[in-house]
Amino acid sequence: MKTNKPENGSAAAETEQPGARNAGPGRLLVAVYAVFALSSTARAVFQIATKFDQAPVAYLLSAFAAVVYIVATVGLAKSGSGSYKVSVAAVGIEMVGVLAVGIFGLVDPAALPDDTVWSGFGAGYGYVPLILPVLGLWWLYRHRADAAVCP
């Protein structure tokens, strides 16, 4: 009977399979996305509830970012091809959002009178919102279904 275990029998080699994107360092990635999902949701809820009339576009962008982080967290945490596709879409939207809002804020600072999670390319969060989708897309690329197991 043939098993799916690697020839050298190491358990570490098993976790390096492409489908194991939510194991090992992938768990840290899921945890960081979860923290951003919680923090951006709390920020958006507070902003919308207390001062929506001051900067509605900025606060709606914060709410949109929160939804993107929630979807990315769930997609990264689950296994399967459907979750993989959701993850790629969410992290891709995050990357486009961070770049678009960052550039938009540079071109027309008055359009966003209050910060969002993605303002200034995530400057208010130590630029983690700019780095996170790059790491996320790289991780997803390395753990795609057709990826070969790396030594």
Q: Which pLDDT band, with edges at 50, 70 and 90, does 69 fall under? A: very high
The tokens of 119 are what? 């303002």
Cα 123–chain centre separation? 16
Q: How far apart are CA 77 and CA 29, in angstroms?
A: 9
At 147, the pLDDT band (50, 70, 90 cuts) reads low
Structure confidence by residue, pLDDT tens digits, 4-30: 444 544 444 444 444 477 778 889 999
Neighbours of 26 (CB within 10 A): 19
pLDDT at 3: 46
Are the C-beta atoms of 5 and 14 separated by less than 8 Å?
A: yes
Looking at residue 60, its pLDDT comes to: 94
pLDDT at 5: 46
pLDDT band at 76 (very low <50, low <70, confident <90, very high): very high
CA 68, CA 64: separation in Å to the nearest integer?
A: 6
**136-142 long-range CB contacts below 8 Å, 24 or more apart?**
136/29, 136/33, 136/72, 136/76, 136/87, 136/91, 136/94, 137/88, 137/91, 137/92, 137/95, 139/21, 139/25, 139/26, 139/29, 140/21, 140/84, 140/87, 140/88, 140/91, 142/18
pLDDT digits (tens, 9 = 90+) for 91-146: 999 999 999 999 999 999 888 888 888 999 999 899 999 999 999 999 999 988 76
pTM of the model: 0.81
33 SS3 class:
helix
